[in-house]
Homo-oligomer: A and B are copies of this chain.
Amino acid sequence: MLFHVRMNVNLPAAMPAEEATRLKLDEKALAHRLQEEGKWRHLWRIAGQYANVSVFDVDSVDELHALLTSLPLLPYMQVEVMPLCRHPSSIRLDDR
């Protein structure tokens, strides 16, 4: 199942630089792994914003929630989730 997720990141101005760097590295490592596993199907940056649009491919809402709550930056994100399904005009049976 596919879920459209938009994440807006907002790190506190007072966060020490090394903590921010470490968080971002951990986030990146996890993002790489989830993409390689095929769970995090798409990951795009929105131009000009510290925000992304993503598509997750999971077996359940619980799995989606577990993945999102494992993100190191989640406490500093505003997250919006929209469940997606096949569009009748899509030429693909499975548009991942």
> Which residues of A approach B to under 8 Å, CB–CB?
1-5, 12-15, 27-28, 31-32, 35-36, 42-49, 52-53, 55, 60-62, 64-65, 68-69, 75, 79-92, 95
Contacts and interface: CB of A to CB of B under 8 A. Distances in A.
4 smallest beta-carbon distances between A and B, as pairs: A44-B84, A47-B83, A31-B89, A45-B87
A86 B61 CA distance: 9
A60 B58 CA distance: 11
Q: Is the interface of A mostly helix, strand, loop or mixed?
A: mixed
A10 to B, nearest CB: 10
A34 to B, nearest CB: 10
A75 to B, nearest CB: 8
